[in-house]
Each structure stands twice: as structure tokens, then as C-alpha cells.
Amino acid sequence: MTNTEKLHRVFANVLCIHEERVTDDLTYNTIPEWDSVAHMALVAEIENLFEIMMDTDDIVDMSSVAKAKEILAKYRVSI
């Protein structure tokens, strides 16, 4: 499983949505499932899965799946 597939699975599991709905265009607060509580759960799962610790700016900036990929690249996670 690639890191992109892992990331998509995290989004699907945390947000309780089908993996097919997880695209780069999926954005914070555009679906009811991705609220502030789910956002923090996403951060925790992503940090755990990829063994990183995001700084506060990255947590706030993670506004879409595409942005999550950019942030992971910053932490040298190949996506």
C-alpha cells in the first residue's frame, strides 16, 4: 500500500466516509463529517501513521487532502 493510499484510508476511517469520496479536492468543513473535532482526530492519526509531529501552522493549514499531501512532503513523507 502506498503512502497516498494510507492517507486516503486515514481520511475515510476518521471521517467515516467511503474511500472513493477522498480526493485531493475534499476540503475542511465542506462535508459535515469533517468538523473541528474530526480535524484533530485526522491530525493525530496522520502523525501516528507517518511518525511525524506537525507544527501548529501545519495543523491549521491542513484544509484539504491535497494540502495534507503537501504538508507530509514537508516532513519527508513521499506521497
Q: How far apart are CA 34 and CA 27, in angstroms?
A: 8
Q: Domain extents for the chain?
A: 3-74
Nearest C-alpha neighbor of 7 from the set 68, 60, 71: 68
Residue 35 confidence (pLDDT): 96
Residue 23 confidence (pLDDT): 97
Per-residue model confidence as pLDDT tens digits over 20-62: 999 999 999 999 999 999 999 999 999 999 999 999 999 999 9
Q: What's the rounded mean pLDDT across residues 62-69?
A: 98
Q: How far apart are CA 66 and CA 23, in angstroms?
A: 8
Residue 69 confidence (pLDDT): 98
Whole-structure pTM value: 0.94
Q: What's the rounded mean pLDDT across residues 59-72?
A: 98
Check whether domain 3-74 has CATH 1.10.1200.10, yes or no: yes
